[in-house]
């Protein structure tokens, strides 16, 4: 497995984005142990901090993970990931917002900062997100950021809740405000 790319820190208006540490599992556990909060994940909720920590820090996973730390009080507000797509120059993005921060623009702000960082960092031509077809909050986030719905793979995934449609949303570098070509 190739060595992972570095995960440098950067900031948004309200959050410091830094590399995930194993100890961050404790702050994410309340959200990721809740069945309702995990309904759109491809796996069921977590049953222990240790199980979550192992999943978050899986050495076989080729992506990079940041956590959003609230500048006001140091609280962890979410997890944000970027990992290689099928083609070079393409990254898949994902995010989980801690329950207490949901509905306050955290995902939109942090994803915007992550996209800025990724397009400034490397020769990426595209980022995309795969969303559970029922996850309307995430659909709103990516659409607010300018992603285009590229397709719906009907009954594509079998998850802990059964068959799910998978929505694909993409954003090209040329479509991102401020991205340098």
Helical residues (DSSP H) of 20-130, grouped into ranges: 25-32, 49-56, 106-121
* Residue 4 within any structural domain of the chain: no
pTM, rounded to two decimals: 0.91
Check residue 136 and give its pLDDT. 93
Domain that residue 70 falls in:
10-175
Mind listing the pLDDT tens digit for each residue in 58-71?
A: 999 899 999 999 99
Residue 102 is part of a domain; what is its CATH number? 3.40.630.30
Orientation angle between helical segments 136-144 and 106-121, nearest 10 degrees? 50
**Residue 30 within a domain:** yes
Residue 2: the pLDDT is 47
In the structure encoding, which two tokens stand for residue 107, read together? 């995902």
For residue 109, pLDDT over 80 is answered with yes
In a domain, 2, yes or no: no
Please report which confidence band the pLDDT of residue 3 belongs to, taking 50, 70 and 90 as the band edges: very low
Question: Is 134 contained in some domain?
Answer: yes
Give the model's confidence band at 1: pLDDT under 50 very low, under 70 low, under 90 confident, else very high: very low
In a domain, 5, yes or no: no
Residue the block writes with tokens 């309307």: 136
Among positive and negative, which fits the CA dihedral 69, 14, 140, 104? positive
Domain-located, residue 106: yes
Number of domains into which the chain is organized: 1
Q: Is residue 181 part of a domain?
A: no
Selected residue with higher pLDDT from 108 and 5: 108
Residue 102 resides in a domain: yes
For residue 46, the 8-state DSSP code is P
């Amino acid at each position: 497995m190739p060595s992972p790319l570095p995960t440098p820190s950067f900031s948004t208006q309200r959050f410091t984005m830094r590399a995930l540490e194993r100890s961050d599992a404790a702050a994410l556990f309340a959200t990721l142990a809740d069945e309702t909060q995990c309904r759109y994940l491809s796996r069921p909720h977590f049953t222990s901090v240790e199980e979550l920590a192992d999943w978050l820090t899986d050495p076989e996973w080729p992506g990079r993970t940041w956590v959003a730390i609230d500048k006001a009080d140091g609280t962890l507000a979410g997890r944000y990931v970027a990992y290689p797509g099928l083609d070079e120059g393409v990254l898949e993005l994902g995010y989980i917002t801690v329950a207490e921060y949901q509905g306050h623009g955290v995902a939109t702000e942090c994803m915007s900062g992550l996209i800025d960082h990724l397009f400034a960092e490397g020769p990426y031509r595209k980022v995309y997100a795969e969303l559970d077809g029922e996850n309307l909050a995430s659909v709103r986030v990516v659409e607010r950021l300018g992603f285009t719905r590229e397709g719906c793979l009907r009954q594509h995934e079998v998850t802990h809740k059964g068959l799910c449609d998978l929505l694909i949303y993409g954003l090209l570098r040329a479509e991102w405000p401020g991205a340098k070509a």
